[in-house]
Structure 1
Amino acid sequence: MNKPFILLILLFSLSTYSQEKVIEEVEFVETSEQDQDENTNEISFAVIENVPVYKGCGASTTNTELKNCMSAAISKHIADNFNTNITNGLGLPDGRVRINVIFKIDKEGNVVDIRSKAPHPVLEKEAIRVIQLIPQLEKPGYQRGNPVTVPYSLPIIFNVQNPKKSSKSTK
């Protein structure tokens, strides 16, 4: 009997603790080999011989290091540029919001073909805006010595905390 009461108090206190909207998590989701199409020179990030090189990641020597550096750089870029205040007035419920973004790095290292899926069109536009701000990469992806297009799938996840309405009591 005491455990459900403690759990209820804990959940209530956690839900009222944070009032800021913060990007909580950005993760790379590697596309599968089924997503690659050699006829269009598109190679999945998971299987490419030489991954694209994000600006500032050139000192990394292995594909794994380059992937990690690129993931961290894009996560930082999104955290620095995504306007979480844009959720104000959209009528979204409190809690986690997930925006799925798909884009490609072309043979010149440019971000192209950006698409997004979100619970509100305003969030889709904001995600596309932020991804468009990614600078041209130092190097495109290479497969068998030739530049190729590399598709990415990137979820942007953050918490929505709507301002609590204050109730004033009159005496």
Structure 2
Amino acid sequence: MEIKKNPKSNLENYSKLFVQLGLVLALFITYVAIENKTYDKEYGDLGQSNMSADVEEETIEIQQEITPPPKNTPPPPAPEKIEVVEDEQEVEETIIESTETDEAEAVVVEEIEEVEEEEDLVEDVPFSIIEDVPVFPGCKGTKAQKKACLNQKMNKHIQRYFDADLANELGLSPGKKRIYLVFKIGKTGNIEDIQARAPHPRLKQEAIRIAKKLPKMEPGKQRGRPVRVGYTLPITFNVE
């Protein structure tokens, strides 16, 4: 059995109408949107804003708790009793003696005895710097003359007592040889501390022998006192 449709109830017949109505509605909405004017939003006069407005700060209150004193607190000590001394009672006073010296008191100063120190003299003085040279027996005159006379007498003494043949007998090489004779003229004028340096031991003994033959002299003096005077006597000879 076929269902029969009413041709008026068929909606396809109104499709064009719906399309047109929709198109008209869309055009209307578009027109209204275009014609609608928008304005900038106006704000009322807000007045000048005060940026330096007082800012309320929070204040934190700290409450200090007061601790009550302990109940069992001992009482303060009683003051010491002050003894009142009657005027009639004698009180011993401490007397402080002054250590300052009274001007009236005489100050005794012990006298200091000055002790003269004896100046130490050098016992051995070289012949070149002695003040008063030793005096060879027979020498006279000034200090310079006595000094020259002493040297002259020494050379004559060597020439008289030195054995010149001994040097040739020892077989020394030819040439000039020298002996250094060193001794000291003591405080009493005697010859002391004789030493010699020679190219041969026998020549050394010969020089010491000659020095022992020197006569006793008048001792040399330094600052008016007798001293020992060192003297060096070189002996020169030739070996053939």
Fold conserved (TM > 0.5)?
yes
Alpha-carbon deviation of 1:149?
Answer: 0.0
Alpha-carbon deviation of 1:63?
Answer: 1.8
Structure showing greater radius of gyration is: 2
Alpha-carbon deviation of 1:90?
Answer: 1.1
Task: State which of 153, 157, 167 in structure 2 corresponds to 1:73.
Answer: 153
Across the aligned residues of Structure 1 and Structure 2, the Cα RMSD in angstroms comes to 1.2
> Which 4+ residue blocks in structure 1 deviate beyond 3 angstroms?
none
Q: Is residue 117 of structure 1 aligned with residue 117 of structure 2? A: no
SS at match of 1:93: coil
Alpha-carbon deviation of 1:77?
Answer: 0.5
SS at match of 1:88: helix
| Matched length | 121
Q: Aligned residue for 2:125? A: 43
Alpha-carbon deviation of 1:64?
Answer: 1.3
Q: Aligned residue for 2:179? A: 99
Task: State which of 132, 154, 171 in structure 1 corresponds to 2:212.
Answer: 132
Structure 1, unmatched stretches of 5+, are: 1-37, 162-171
User: Could you say which structure has the higher helix fraction?
Assistant: 1
Per-residue deviation, residues 95-146 of structure 1 (Å, max 9, x unmatched): 1110011100000000111100000000000001011100101x10000110
Q: Distance in 2 between matches of 1:100 and 1:52?
A: 20
Q: Aligned residue for 1:147? A: 226
Per-residue deviation, residues 59-100 of structure 1 (Å, max 9, x unmatched): 22x221111100000100100000011123312011111001
1:160 aligned partner, one-letter code: V
Q: TM-score, normalised by structure 2?
A: 0.49
Q: Aligned residue for 1:89? A: 169
User: Could you say which structure has the higher strand fraction?
Assistant: 1
Q: Aligned residue for 1:19? A: none
Q: TM-score, normalised by structure 1?
A: 0.68
Structure 2, unmatched stretches of 5+, are: 1-119
Q: Distance in 2 between matches of 1:50 and 1:93?
A: 42
Q: Aligned residue for 1:108? A: 188
1:155 aligned partner, one-letter code: P
Q: Distance in 2 between matches of 1:70 and 1:39?
A: 24
Q: Distance in 2 between matches of 1:159 and 1:126?
A: 16
Higher RCO, 1 or 2 (CA under 8 Å, sep at least 6)? Answer: 1
SS at match of 1:157: strand
Q: Distance in 1 between matches of 2:133 and 2:163?
A: 29
